[in-house]
Structure 1
């Protein structure tokens, strides 16, 4: 049986959610006391939980976490209506109008036959709408540095400031690697300039993120997958050591490496 619903069923489900939100806001002590500020950190947490579900490839968890985020959106809209600032109607209408404005190739006479052109048009329209003095003005200040680097590069590309070929980007990676090595040579025991070495390391990371973008790798997702892989293997190492009656802190690196190699085969 298909899980897909009709438009009437979708509207009815959304209406039911709005009704429940009204009831909770009027009757539940916890829901009654919430503010946009108190919900903020919970929304961030829900977004990261959705990210985990996506990386795990778990459709049921994705559905659950999307539901939680939808609840938060409806909750913010309810608070906005109480404060006389906006409600779910004005929120959705504003979104629809923005989507229409930013897709002139669908709703206007602009031509865009590939995703790259669509993306460039989107950034140009967004820049004009927001009145930012800088193309990079729309990048949230509080974004994690790795994601921020990726968004900065994408926005610069949106106005044509980018490398033309991926081999040029890789040459930049190698150049930054050599500069970093010059500041932090593993074979040299002399004290290094930490501030300068940190700057060179930042440049190297930025160039690697740039190359990842050129070959369609999301560096944030790639690193998180590696994090998850390391956690899984390390926990195998911990359990294997425990089953062998050993304590990790008392084992040599060579002894731990035996279990680590086993973990890689799991």
Structure 2
């Protein structure tokens, strides 16, 4: 069996699948919008493979994600917009442009300077695309991003122009302030909309805290979800081994098992 291990092989495979006469009926019908959910799903499956440190699965998921890129590029080529080589050229030029300290003569002394330069380059690129002066520093942060990711990106943009906390303690204080405001809305029987606003402010401040601690908030929450699933799954197993089912009636036992399992993991 011949090896199909070059990008040109994958491009040819997708082109054959999309062929109007001899292709696959399902593939022939797909559009940018119809395959978008698959693109997002594959990106998250890559993240899960990384979190699980499963290299075999990561290899497979990266292939699935690459297929999505080739697929979008093929649809664009059929429409006469651009082709896969244009995608490669675009990202290659962008990476060289955004790393003048590697591919040019610029001197950026530390990681913070590199990040600041990266944001300046991105801002200039956004302005160039619009052919007008740079507007808000927050322009271009995609609305479709997960909320935690978007919050962090907005905060980083603002931080580049100096709108940020100076001390870590100020960030902790802000989280506590927002938490207290959530308590007050509950005690005051505030309208649901106000509760939503206060919870949003609390979450936003928690993302800010994560950012200042050097933690990716989205990844931290994903990891917390995994821990909860794993621990609660063990609680269920232990309960059923003793002839019980999870329910409010056995809550004390569930809490005892939870504490035990948590301490064992630590």
TM-score scaled by length of structure 2 = 0.85
1:122 to 118, 121, 126: 118
Say how many residue pairs are matched.
252
The aligned counterpart of 1:23 is 16
Shift of residue 193 of structure 1? 4.1
How far residue 257 of structure 1 moved from its aligned partner, in angstroms, is 2.2
**How many Å separate the matches in 2 of 1:104 and 1:233?**
47
Tell me how far apart the structure 1 counterparts of residues 145 and 65 of structure 2 sit (CA, whole Å): 19
TM-superposed CA distance for 1:234, in Å, is 1.5
Equivalence for 2:184: 182
Question: What is the CA-CA distance between 1:63 and the residue it aligns to?
Answer: 1.5
The 2-side partners of 1:34 and 1:15 are apart by 21
Kindly state the Cα deviation for residue 141 of structure 1 after the two structures are TM-superposed: 1.0
1:173-213 CA-partner distances (Å, limit 9, x unpaired):
2333333333335xxxx634443343233222222211111
Which residue is equivalent to 2:81? 85
- Partner SS, residue 143 of structure 1: coil
Indicate the residue corresponding to 1:159 in structure 2: 161
The unaligned stretches of length 5 or more in structure 1 are: 1-10
The whole-number CA distance in structure 2 between the counterparts of 1:104 and 1:160 is: 23
Tell me if structure 2 keeps the 8 A contact 1:176–1:204: yes
RMSD across aligned C-alpha pairs, in angstroms?
A: 2.2
Bigger shift: residues 234-243 or 59-68: 234-243
Q: Distance between the aligned counterparts of 2:206 and 2:5, measured in 1?
A: 48
Say which is worse superposed, 235-244 or 63-72, in terms of deviation: 235-244
The one of 228, 231, 252 equivalent to 1:230 is: 228
Contact 1:180 1:201 in 2 (8 A): yes
Q: For structure 1, which segment, 77-86 or 94-103, has the greater mean C-alpha deviation from structure 2 after superposition?
A: 94-103
CA contact (8 A) 1:212 1:219 kept: yes
- Equivalent position of 2:139 in the other structure: 137
Structure 2 residue runs without a partner (length 5+): 128-133
Equivalent-residue separation in structure 2 for 1:220 and 1:81 (angstroms): 34
Alignment of 1:245 with 2:243, yes or no, is yes
SS in 1 for 2:11: helix
Match of 1:37 in 2: 33
